[in-house]
């Protein structure tokens, strides 16, 4: 049976840990090195490193050690900014790319010890549309080109890097909205295809992001948040609802690169728009989804059937699972009914 750790990043109650895939939960208190009421916007880990977990927070970049059971602040030029997105290259665990609010893009080649700002000409730090700062909502290493990286920006469209994050160019032709939330890359019969989500609908590109076309969903609301390729690359999941946080929505899946979508029928009623999806190649059939206001769901059959887990969180910003054993100290915390240690 698959074992591993599941993590939920919240907007105001830090990061929660589960070693039994959502049945019981615990979180480190502030004495472990991270403020208990912090916001965790993004989470990344690498399968070659079973110990370290790195997060983007409202106080910069932090790293958790499973062995030491402690957080360490990783000083960077992003201190004082909201680190909305952070990820590692699947080809090199020392190669990180991160994005902030206000929107800036940064990269590190030495395991997050030092950072350099990527050149992104024309990137806005403020949007008159929302009368507030722009923010990097997702960073994705292209699975078919190790040097290519994609970044989605709310509200400033899509950026592409062909050199690992050192330089970026904006790709927005055809987008009906620059309020971009997520991106996925797939290989179709005629080559690479991209899907991106916006506040006004789902878009597709068949020419490497140079142009985009909106694909309307059969639903009154077109707002989409995450678009997520399954770990075995056989399905794409799409979160769709009536806004942030919204009052309901759907988790959709497609088995033909997004040409057709079906509702997986999460056990309802939903309290808000579905927000995040988490998968892992260690077990492609084990999938998690969460709504913006913290309802958590689990599928063990690749997304065909789902159960709602008992625990509900407040506002959720990130979701992640990986195949590492639960630390003994965390097991002891579960035996205390999930109280912070």
What pLDDT, in 10s, does the model give residues 272-322? Answer: 999 999 999 999 999 999 999 999 999 999 999 999 999 999 999 999 999
Is 35 a domain residue?
yes
Structural Rg of the chain based on CA atoms: 19
Is 340 a domain residue?
no
188 alpha-carbon distance from chain centroid: 23
Span 193-206, average pLDDT: 98
For the domain that residue 46 is a member of, what is the CATH number? 2.130.10.10
- Dump pLDDT digits (tens) for 143-189: 999 999 999 999 999 999 999 999 999 999 999 999 999 999 999 88
Is 168 a domain residue?
yes
Domain of residue 227: give its range.
Answer: 5-335
Distance (Å, whole) CA 157 – CA 122: 11
Is 248 a domain residue?
yes
- Dump pLDDT digits (tens) for 99-151: 999 999 999 999 999 999 999 999 999 988 888 999 999 999 999 999 999 99
- Give burial (CB, 10 Å; 0-12/13-18/19+) of 20: middle
Is 140 a domain residue?
yes
Is 294 a domain residue?
yes
Residue 335 has a pLDDT of: 42
For residue 196, give the 3-state DSSP assignment.
Answer: strand
Contact 139, 98 (CB under 8 A): yes
Is 165 a domain residue?
yes
Is 211 a domain residue?
yes
Number of compact structural domains in the chain: 1
Sole residue written with tokens 């958590």: 296
Q: Which residues pair with 175 in a beta bridge?
A: none
Position 329 pLDDT exceeds 80: no
Q: Which residues pair with 63 in a beta bridge?
A: 54, 72
Of 49, 90, 99, 114, which Cα lies nearest the Cα of 324? Answer: 49
């Amino acid at each position: 049976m698959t074992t591993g750790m599941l993590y939920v990043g919240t907007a105001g109650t830090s990061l929660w840990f589960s070693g039994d895939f959502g049945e019981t939960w615990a979180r480190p208190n502030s004495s472990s090195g991270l403020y208990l009421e912090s916001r965790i916007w993004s989470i990344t880990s690498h399968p070659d490193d079973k110990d370290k977990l790195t997060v983007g927070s409202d106080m910069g970049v932090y790293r958790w050690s499973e062995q030491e059971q402690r957080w360490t602040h990783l000083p960077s030029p992003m201190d004082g900014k909201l680190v909305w997105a952070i990820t590692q290259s699947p080809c090199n665990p020392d190669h990180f790319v991160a994005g902030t609010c206000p929107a800036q893009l940064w990269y590190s080649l030495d395991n997050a010890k030092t950072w350099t700002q990527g050149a992104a000409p024309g990137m806005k730090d403020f949007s008159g549309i929302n009368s507030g700062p722009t923010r990097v909502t997702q960073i994705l290493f292209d699975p078919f080109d190790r040097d290519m990286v994609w970044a989605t920006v709310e509200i400033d469209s899509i950026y592409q890097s062909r050199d690992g994050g050192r330089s970026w160019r904006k790709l927005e032709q055809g987008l009906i909205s620059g309020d971009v939330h997520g991106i996925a890359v797939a290989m179709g019969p005629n080559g690479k295809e991209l899907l991106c989500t916006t506040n006004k609908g789902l878009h597709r590109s068949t020419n490497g992001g140079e142009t985009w076309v909106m694909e309307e969903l059969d639903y009154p609301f077109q707002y989409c948040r995450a678009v997520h390729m399954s770990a075995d690359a056989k399905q794409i999941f799409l979160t769709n609802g009536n806004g942030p946080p919204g009052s309901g929505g759907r988790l959709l899946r497609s088995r033909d690169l997004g040409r057709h979508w079906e509702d997986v029928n999460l056990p309802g009623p939903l309290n808000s728009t579905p927000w995040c999806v988490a998968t892992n190649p260690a077990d492609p059939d084990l999938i998690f989804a969460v709504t913006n206001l913290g309802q958590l769901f689990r599928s063990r059959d690749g997304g065909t059937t789902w159960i709602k887990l008992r625990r509900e969180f407040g506002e959720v910003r990130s979701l992640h699972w990986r195949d590492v054993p639960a630390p003994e100290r965390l097991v002891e915390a579960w035996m205390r009914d999930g109280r912070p240690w």
